[in-house]
Amino acid sequence: MAKYDKKLIEEIKIFCKSNKRKFFLSNNVRLAMNLDLDGVYLPSFYNKLDTNKLNTKKNFLIIGSAHTVKEILIKEKQGSEMIFLSPLFKTKKNKHFLDTVKFNLLALKTKKKIIALGGINTKNMQKLRIINVFGFAGISYFNKNFTINQ
């Protein structure tokens, strides 16, 4: 099990609250709850079904990621309210991707909110209009195209 620096997590929590940002810890539901964080992120490889046994606070959000129907079903059983589904498009790290048709077929397998992830850029941005999605995330897209004035 991974070691967590609770002092650092508390510092990040204070920073996030003061900047009106949500803070999600990855892979550790109990610690996220004990430290009164906003929620937890469960990656596709996190398969434990222990999350439903816990009494989560009212606004505690569980989000997960998935690539297949099996992983979507696991995220549902874990209590995820939103699921990152990826990769939507081809990326430098992953040549295998869902594209719009397979993405939509997978998204239809759940009633949870779906967030598209992976390979989103200016060339394929218009394709987001034809997918069944609540939102999208594009780390490299935003890094290249936007600057945040501080």
Q: What percent of the chain has pLDDT over 90?
A: 48
The strand ranges marked E within the chain are 24-26, 39-42, 61-66, 82-85, 113-117, 135-137
> Predicted confidence band at 4 (pLDDT cuts at 50, 70, 90)?
confident
- What's the rounded mean pLDDT across residues 128-148? 71
Task: Quote the pLDDT of residue 148.
Answer: 47
Which tens digit of pLDDT belongs to each residue from 89-117? 887 777 788 888 998 999 999 999 999 88
Could you tell me the pTM of the whole model? 0.80
Task: Quote the pLDDT of residue 48.
Answer: 85
Contacts of 106 (CB under 8 A, 6+ apart): 66, 68, 69, 72, 85, 98
Task: Quote the pLDDT of residue 123.
Answer: 83
Domains and CATH numbers, the chain: 6-145 (3.20.20.70)
pLDDT reading at 8 higher than 90: yes
- What's the rounded mean pLDDT across residues 53-71? 84
